[in-house]
Amino acid sequence: MTKVALVTGASRGIGRATALLLAQRGYAVGVNYQQDEAAAEQVVAQIRAQGGQAQTLRANIAEEEQVVAMFAALDSSLGPIGALVNNAGILFQQAGIEQLTAERINKVFATNVTGYFLCCREAVKRMALRHGGQGGAIVNVSSAAARLGAAGEYVDYAASKGAVDTLTTGLALEVAAQGIRVNSVRPGFIYTDMHASGGEPGRVDRVKTAVPMQRGGQPEEVAEAVAWLLSDAASYVTGCFIDAAGGR
């Protein structure tokens, strides 16, 4: 039976790399996006061209009704979910605490925290043994910023990812007996267009000398860690974190 995976924020960056890799590993993939339909369709087209199954799923994960509708659409298009990758996220230009507004903070937390909770809720409803599910695995894409603190980072973004780490640990304990494993990958400085569109262009190149490995990471390197945590090779791993951060 083909396993079904949902990857949020899968039209670009780490999400895109993860969706493509999971399809190569035999998953049918729900490709979530919020705005860039063309990019999401390209991911689906590439998967289908290689003989895989995929479906675009438009939803703003910060909106509860849209999350519920997205999972319902996944049910009807690809079947019961067995793997969830919470990857969608937002950040804004780096700013000190004096420059932060409630509007900005709430927007960051609505997507990066509330959105993850909502997607986990809907996945657990379908995966949990007590609901007639077959179990499954969840990977939350967090950030090295959550581990290192906000110094030199985006303070509101780092705080939101700290909340994701707490969600990972707590949910792993809650649902372990229901056949669901919950883990996290914490990327460091990765070459994606997130910094170009929401953060600072060229940021990875400017800070890579602070990384012990002296380079930024590629989305595909993070995707490999995500895929391993979802796989049967990690069947006795839950509540754990992989830092894909070049030693930082």
φ/ψ (deg, to 5) at 150: -90, -5
Distance (Å, whole) CA 27 – CA 51: 11
Angle of helix 219-230 relative to helix 13-24, nearest 10 degrees, comes to 50
Coil, strand or helix at 234 = helix
Report the b/e string of 4-40 with b at 16+ CB within 10 A: bbbbbbbbbbbbbbbbbbbbeeebbbbbbbbeeeeeb
Q: Return the closest-CA partner of residue 195 out of 42, 110, 90, 52.
A: 90
Alpha-carbon torsion, ordered 197, 203, 205, 210, to 10 deg:
-150
Contact 87, 10 (CB under 8 A): yes
Contact 173, 239 (CB under 8 A): yes
Q: Return the closest-CA partner of residue 81 out of 29, 32, 39, 45.
A: 29
Distance (Å, whole) CA 144 – CA 237: 20
Annotated catalytic residues are 157
